[in-house]
């Protein structure tokens, strides 16, 4: 019975989503209460479930070694599920206000809730097959959110998103087939399942890892498969914030972690020497993402390219295959999620209150919206990685990991990219606060409270993570200790 | 080469089959196509029956005394081909009926002309 | 109380019920009665086939002698789990399609022709089951001819220009196919002296060293002959015309069942009459593999180029039949078992796709893909069912399309041809390219949804119920993939 509890966070949101589509709400309050219960309730469920000991696991149905829908909770899954469900709550408040000026909110919230369930499914998947199912579902369930505006442009971006995603999924499938033909097993286990085999064909395994890395890398916006991400910025801001800074891209990263450390295992991967190409791709992702971000006029696009670059950091932490790097990578996964969602919220707030989208339009906006832009500055500084912010902590560990591999080169790349990060974020701050004509009587135009509160709270979280990183770090250390 | 002459039934059947096949594929006129189809079928019947024929033996009809199995040819192919002929006739009839219909609708039985009318 | 042992005679009983009842229909004046007879007999056949299936699974394969003549003089039915399962598939899918036809057929064909239509359908299904059950090659040939005539009949019944043209094209190419097939029988008979597959198997083992060329010729003749009928690429040219111009109910029957009957016959000849070990030596399987792969790719490419939605689905059948030939061509037990599984999966999925599209065409009166933009708002349930079918074709896990792709990929790796995995994957991407736009433009897009009224064109749920049953069948076939595949590999031995 206790194990059945595991199904609730995954399938309840799906039920809520359907109910939400069916029920006719009397007023906005009813509607918002319903969404609130669904999403906050899910977080409480997750927390409640994690209290149980031992952690639950469940074969939902199992036909054979392959067709086996299996859920299993481990620390990695806990990290991801908590991160997602917490940020979902912030986004919920934000979008309740923000979506008032968009149409078709019913469909939006239906799929918004549904996606939470899908993400939980990814987090708690106990084998690659289950994860693949939810991964495909994620593509299908986020698609209506991406094309929310239903303009020509949105449909085009949606098409791009689908094509890229299915391209990636096909690669994943290829990898799974190759892998399964060697191992006959796709379950996740700390330290990997390959090590337990007596003999195996290394070429096939290497090919399997490579195609899976690319396949999942599509969602993780790996250069050169990144171009769907900036296009998908036509979606409403909450979607961009949540899905394209947290849920979708992070699920790609999460899947790569699962494949690398829970199927292959660090030792096997290190022994295969196939990493050169992957390292090159990751470095390209970091540098090119930052360079492309430099000359984006549209605020959301700038943030999107910044996401690409920052995801490169996380990937770097994964592919370096040592403890410090992975700690850095995982910590950066959390930090980037929190920071990027804040930045997106702020950009959304600016658009919501003033209707401005590009950098040259926001001259002097800092004087109109001081609190908002202050939060933006704090988040930017964190992302750049100036001590003592959380961004610094994660990059520090990444650098340590790079040095441990005797590759100072990586450290140089990290520094270079940090400068570029400053190069594309600080001008926004400067433009907002110091440019534009001074007017005598500035009217304060802060966004409504439902938007402002999530922003301020998240900024608070950023600061806290910077000042007291140890609680989170300890948890990450315990994860990493188990899998390397 | 010599074998071809010894098995002249089979050789003839295959040549006939080729003629029928070519007629079926190459002609535009539907009636000719159907004729080709029939030639092809006939070739198969010939081939099949030739397989059952053993030189010097009688048709398997008992007259006066039963000569034992060694006295008669193999009756199975002949029986099968009766069925085959029935099938071929019915298909020919159906095809001809369709051709008449087609002529009603298109006013021609040349296949290339019919294909050109696809647009309307 | 019917004892289960009587199940041995059920295959014959099914055929008799279907074929005899067929010829009663034109005598009945009332169309409602005709519909009742048709659906009733099909349901009886379906129930009987399920009982046969249960019997076979419990007691193993059996042979039924027709008229109690012993083989090789009499005709035999050989029922292994494979035949029994295919019988269940054919009767049930046909039953569901007939159920759907009760509400929609009159809108496509004149009502005085209705009894003839149901006659043809019953004859068609009876003949297909005959092909599946019979163990005698010549008997199979006769059933092949009957089913060809009947399927031409259900294409031409609409009595439009393009139907007659398509049917004639279909008929001529089919005749070519049956000519080749009969020639193949002649060659095989000339060296084995038997028509019964079990006996051919015994004789051919001795004959293969004496007449290796004759065996090769006859196998090639069989493959091409049946390949024409089952739309093996590049012999598929008749299919898009015939399937797209026919009434939707006919298209569903033709695409999901008729093609499959001939494939099953080819499998039976290759692996039961000639045997695995013999066929593996011949180059024919490589030919089938290559043509299958080509079909998988080219069928989809042609489908992308089409403008009419029914033609898209018809070309998609070419691609899907390619998968089946691909499985056969892999020359491994798993490959053939997966090919048979794909017969199952494709039959239910394609029937569902054709019926949903038929419903869309019926209510809107349009045919082109671009006319179906925004249809999801008007017919949400119909397009929802279409989406399920499309997802299965593209290969979303657990649905049958995915299971067969996955297993085909594994089979091709274990057959030592890992490069073929790429073909499977490319083909599934191509599938996505022509199915998803229909779904996406149907459900989304501001332009598309303008002026559309929600559920305005939806058919009553009662009329869509058979399609909903088919969708449940799709999920079911996906879920029981493992036992099915095991059953088929059992049936091949």
In the 8-state DSSP scheme, what is residue A444? P
pLDDT at B118: 61
Chain B residues in contact with C183 (beta carbon < 8 A): 17, 44, 47
Residue A56 has pLDDT above 80, yes or no: no
Instruction: Pick out chain C residues at pLDDT < 70.
Output: 1-5, 446-449, 451, 455, 491-493
- Residues of chain B with Cβ-Cβ distance to C156 below 8 Å are 98, 101
Subunits close to A (at least 3 CB pairs below 8 A): C
CA C353, CA C313: separation in Å to the nearest integer? 8
Q: Give the residue with greater pLDDT, A10 vs C454.
A: A10
Residue C56 lies in a domain: no
By the 8 A CB rule, do C190 and C142 touch?
Answer: no
**Region of residue A265 (phi > 0: left; psi between -120 and 50: alpha; otherwise: beta):** left
Are A17 and A34 a contacting pair, CB within 8 Å?
no
Ramachandran region, residue A104 (left: φ > 0; alpha: ψ -120 to 50; beta: rest): left
Using CB atoms, pick whichever of B20, B34, B94 lies closest to residue C152.
B94
Domain coordinates in residue numbering, chain B: 2-119
**Which residues of chain B neighbour C222 with C-beta distances below 8 Å?**
none
Buried b (16+ CB within 10 A) or exposed e, A206-230: bbbbbbbbbbbbbbbbbbebbebbb
User: What is the chain B residue with the closest CA to C159?
Assistant: B101
Of chain C residues 473-492, which have a CB less than 8 A from chain A?
A: 479, 481-482
Contacts of C436 in chain A (CB under 8 A): 162
The pLDDT tens digits for B80-117 are 888 889 989 999 999 999 889 888 888 888 878 877 77
A328, A317 Cβ separation under 8 angstroms: yes
Please give, rounded to a whole number of angstroms, the shortest distance from the CA of C417 to a CA of chain B. Answer: 36
- At C449, give phi and psi (nearest 5°): -90, -5
Q: What is the spatial distance between Cα A285 and Cα A249, in angstroms, rounded to a whole number?
A: 14
Assess if residue C413 is contained within a domain. yes
Task: State the average pLDDT over residues A28-56.
Answer: 80
Which pLDDT value is given to residue A392?
Answer: 85
Q: Do C168 and B105 touch (CB under 8 A)?
A: no
Q: State which residue of chain C sits closest to A168, comparing Cα positions.
A: C429
Model pLDDT, residue C485 = 85
Mean pLDDT within A30-52: 82
Axis-axis angle for helices C31-59, C114-133 (nearest 10): 10
Segments in C105-211 forming alpha helices (H): 114-133, 137-156, 161-192, 197-210
pLDDT above 70 for A274: no
Q: C89: which residues sit within 8 A by CB, 6+ positions away?
A: C343, C344, C347, C348
* C294-349 pLDDT tens trace: 999 999 999 999 888 888 999 999 999 999 999 998 888 888 889 999 998 999 99
Residues with Cβ within 8 Å of residue A76, at least 6 apart in sequence: A254, A257, A258, A262, A479, A483
Mutate to test the interface with B, among C148, C156, C183, C191 (most CBs of B within 10 A): C183
Residues of A in contact with C380 (CB under 8 A): none
Strands A68-72 and A57-62: antiparallel
Q: Mind telling me how many Å the CA of C265 is from chain B's nearest CA?
A: 19
Residue among A312, A401, B82, A316 nearest C142 (CA): B82
Whether residue A180 lies within 8 A of chain C, CB to CB, comes out as yes
Residue A467 has pLDDT above 70, yes or no: yes
pLDDT, tens digit, for every residue of A451-462?
Answer: 888 889 989 888
Give the per-residue pLDDT at C263. Answer: 92
C86 within domain boundaries: no
Q: A336-360, pLDDT tens digit by residue?
A: 888 989 988 888 888 888 888 888 8
The full set of domain ranges for chain A reads 276-484
Residue A299 has pLDDT above 80, yes or no: yes
Interface of C with B (CB under 8 A): 138, 141-142, 145, 148-149, 152, 156, 159, 161, 164-165, 167-168, 171-172, 175-176, 179, 182-183, 186, 189-190, 195
How far does the CA of residue C465 sit from the closest CA of chain B (Å)? Answer: 36
Task: State the alpha helices, DSSP H only, in C282-378.
Answer: 284-305, 309-329, 333-364, 375-378
The mean predicted confidence, pLDDT, of chain A is: 84
pLDDT tens string A171-220: 898 888 888 888 888 888 877 787 777 777 778 888 888 889 999 988 88
Give Cβ neighbours of residue C320 (< 8 Å, ≥ 6 apart).
C299, C342, C346, C350, C393
Chains A and B touch (3+ CB pairs under 8 A): no
What single DSSP character describes residue C274? I
Which of C396, C405, C482 is closest, CB to CB, to A67?
A: C482
Q: Which chains touch B (3 or more CB pairs under 8 A)?
A: C
pLDDT greater than 70 at residue A276: yes
pLDDT band at B120 (very low <50, low <70, confident <90, very high): very low
- Report the number of distinct structural domains present in chain C: 1
Nearest CA in chain C to A151: C446
CB A443 within 8 A of CB A376: no
CA distance B64 to chain C (A): 25
Question: What is the percentage of chain B residues whose pLDDT exceeds 90?
Answer: 12
> Can you read off the two tokens belonging to residue A173?
């499938």
With CB atoms and an 8 Å threshold, state whether C446 touches A167: no
Is B58 a residue whose pLDDT tops 90? Answer: no
Closest of A287, A179, A158, A162 to residue A218, by C-alpha: A162
Q: Measured between alpha carbons, how far is C255 from B109 in angstroms, rounded to an integer?
A: 28
What is the pLDDT at residue A437?
66
Q: Which fold has domain B2-119?
A: Helix Hairpins (1.10.287)
Total length of chain B: 120
CB contact under 8 A, B44 and C186: yes
DSSP state of C63: E
CB contact under 8 A, C179 and B84: no
Q: Is C396 an interface residue toward A (CB < 8 Å)?
A: yes
Domain of residue C429: give its range.
Answer: 323-493
DSSP C304-330: HH--BHHHHHHHHHHHHHHHHHHHHHT
Q: State the pLDDT at residue C446.
A: 67
- The chains in contact with chain C, meaning 3 or more Cβ pairs closer than 8 Å, are A, B
pLDDT at A440 over 60: no
SS3 C237: coil
> Could you tell me which residues come within 8 angstroms of residue A358 by beta carbon, excluding any fewer than 6 positions away?
A297, A298, A299
The pTM of the full predicted model, rounded to 2 decimals, is 0.84
């Amino acid at each position: 019975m206790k194990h059945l509890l595991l199904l609730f966070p995954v399938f309840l949101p799906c039920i809520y989503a359907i109910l939400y589509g069916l029920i006719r709400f009397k007023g906005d309050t009813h509607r918002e209460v319903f969404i609130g219960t669904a999403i906050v309730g899910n977080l409480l469920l997750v927390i409640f479930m994690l209290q149980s000991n031992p952690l639950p696991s469940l074969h939902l149905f199992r036909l054979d070694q392959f067709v086996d829908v299996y859920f299993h909770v481990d620390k990695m899954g806990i990290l991801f599920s908590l991160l997602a469900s917490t940020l979902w709550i912030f986004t919920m408040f934000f979008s309740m206000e923000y979506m008032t000026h968009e149409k078709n909110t019913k469909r939006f919230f239906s799929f918004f809730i549904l996606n939470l369930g899908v993400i939980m499914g990814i987090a708690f998947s106990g084998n690659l097959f289950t994860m693949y199912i939810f991964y495909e579902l994620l593509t299908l369930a986020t698609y209506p959110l991406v094309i929310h505006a239903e303009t020509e442009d949105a449909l085009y971006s949606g098409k791009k998103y689908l094509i890229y995603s299915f391209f990636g999924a096909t690669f994943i499938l290829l990898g799974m087939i190759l892998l399964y033909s060697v191992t006959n097993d796709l379950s996740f286990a700390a330290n990997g399942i390959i090590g337990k085999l007596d003999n195996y064909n290394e070429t096939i395994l290497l090919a399997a890892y490579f195609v899976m890395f690319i396949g999942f890398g599509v969602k993780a916006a790996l250069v050169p498969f990144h171009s769907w991400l900036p296009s998908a910025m036509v979606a409403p801001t909450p979607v961009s914030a949540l899905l394209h800074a947290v849920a979708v891209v992070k699920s790609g990263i999460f899947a790569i972690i699962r494949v690398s450390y829970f199927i292959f295992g660090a030792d096997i991967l290190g022994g295969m020497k196939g990493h050169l190409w992957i390292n090159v791709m990751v470095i390209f992702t970091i540098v090119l993402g930052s360079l492309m971000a430099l000359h984006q006029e549209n605020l959301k696009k700038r943030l999107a390219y910044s996401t690409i670059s920052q995801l490169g950091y996380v990937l770097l932490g994964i592919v370096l295959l040592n403890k410090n790097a992975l700690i850095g990578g995982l910590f950066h996964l959390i930090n980037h999620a929190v920071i990027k969602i804040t930045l997106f919220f702020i950009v959304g707030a600016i658009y919501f209150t003033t209707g401005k989208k590009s950098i040259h339009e926001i001259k002097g906006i800092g004087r109109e919206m001081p609190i908002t832009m202050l939060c933006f500055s704090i988040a930017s500084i964190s992302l750049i990685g100036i001590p003592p912010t959380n961004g610094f902590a994660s990059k520090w560990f990444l650098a340590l990991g790079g040095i441990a591999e005797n590759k100072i080169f990586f450290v140089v790349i990290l520094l270079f990219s940090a400068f570029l990060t400053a190069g594309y974020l600080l001008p926004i701050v400067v433009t907002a606060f110091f440019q534009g004509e001074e007017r005598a009587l500035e009217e304060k135009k802060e966004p409504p409270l439902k938007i402002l509160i999530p922003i301020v709270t998240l900024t608070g979280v950023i600061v806290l993570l910077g000042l007291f990183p140890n609680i989170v770090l300890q948890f990450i250390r315990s994860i990493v200790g188990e899998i390397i | 080469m010599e074998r071809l002459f010894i098995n002249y039934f089979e050789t003839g059947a295959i040549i006939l089959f080729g003629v029928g096949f070519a007629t079926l594929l190459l002609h535009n006129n539907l009636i000719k196509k159907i004729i080709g189809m029939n030639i092809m079928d006939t070739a198969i019947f010939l081939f099949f029956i030739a397989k059952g024929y053993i030189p010097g033996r009688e048709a398997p009809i008992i007259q006066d005394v039963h000569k034992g199995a060694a006295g008669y040819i193999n009756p199975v192919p002949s029986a099968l081909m009766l069925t085959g002929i029935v099938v071929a006739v019915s298909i020919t009839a159906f095809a001809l009926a369709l051709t008449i219909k087609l002529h009603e609708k298109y006013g021609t039985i040349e296949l290339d002309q019919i294909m050109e009318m696809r647009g309307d | 109380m019917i004892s289960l042992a009587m199940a041995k005679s059920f295959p014959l009983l099914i055929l008799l019920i279907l074929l005899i009842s067929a010829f009663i229909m034109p005598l009945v004046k009332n169309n409602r009665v005709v519909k009742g007879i048709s659906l009733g007999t099909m349901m009886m056949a379906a129930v009987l086939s399920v009982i046969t299936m249960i019997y076979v699974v419990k007691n193993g394969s059996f042979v039924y002698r027709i008229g109690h003549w012993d083989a090789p003089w009499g005709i035999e039915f050989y029922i292994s789990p494979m035949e029994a399962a295919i019988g269940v598939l054919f009767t049930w899918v046909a039953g569901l399609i007939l159920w759907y036809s009760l509400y929609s057929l009159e809108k496509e064909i004149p009502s005085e022709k209705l009894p003839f239509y149901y006659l043809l359908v019953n004859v068609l299904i009876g003949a297909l089951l005959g092909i599946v059950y019979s163990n005698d090659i010549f008997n199979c040939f006769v059933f092949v001819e009957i089913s060809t005539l009947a399927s031409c009949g259900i294409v031409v019944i609409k009595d439009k220009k393009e139907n007659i043209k398509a049917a004639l094209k279909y008929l001529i190419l089919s005749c070519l196919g049956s000519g080749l097939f009969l020639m193949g029988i002649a060659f095989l008979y000339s060296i084995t002296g038997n028509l019964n597959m079990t006996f051919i198997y015994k004789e051919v083992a001795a004959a293969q060293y004496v007449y290796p060329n004759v065996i090769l010729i006859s196998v090639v003749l069989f493959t091409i002959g049946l390949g024409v009928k089952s739309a093996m690429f590049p012999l598929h040219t008749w299919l898009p015309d015939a399937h797209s111009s026919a009434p939707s109910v006919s298209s569903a029957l033709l695409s999901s069942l008729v093609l499959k009957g001939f494939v099953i016959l080819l499998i039976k000849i290759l692996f039961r009459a000639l045997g695995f070990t013999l066929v593996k030596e011949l180059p024919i399987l490589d030919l089938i593999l290559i043509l299958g792969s080509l079909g998988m790719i080219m069928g989809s490419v042609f489908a992308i180029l089409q403008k009419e939605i029914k033609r898209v689905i018809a070309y998609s059948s070419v691609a899907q039949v390619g998968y089946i030939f691909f499985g056969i061509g892999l020359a491994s037990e798993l490959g053939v078992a997966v090919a048979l599984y794909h017969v199952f999966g494709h039959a239910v999925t394609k029937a569902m796709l054709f019926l949903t599209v038929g419903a869309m065409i019926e209510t809107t009166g349009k045919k082109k893909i671009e006319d179906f933009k925004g249809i999801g708002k008007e017919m949400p349930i119909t397009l929802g069912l279409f989406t399920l079918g499309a997802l299965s074709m593209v290969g979303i896990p657990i649905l049958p399309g995915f299971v067969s792709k996955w297993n085909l990929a594994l089979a091709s790796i274990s057959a030592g041809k890992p490069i073929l995995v790429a073909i499977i994957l490319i083909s599934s991407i191509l599938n996505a390219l022509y199915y998803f736009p229909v779904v996406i433009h149907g459900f989304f897009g501001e332009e598309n949804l303008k002026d559309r009224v929600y559920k305005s064109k939806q058919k009553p749920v009662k009329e869509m119920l058979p399609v909903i049953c088919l969708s449940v069948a799709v999920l079911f076939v996906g879920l029981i993939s493992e036992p099915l595949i095991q059953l088929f590999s059992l049936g091949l031995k």
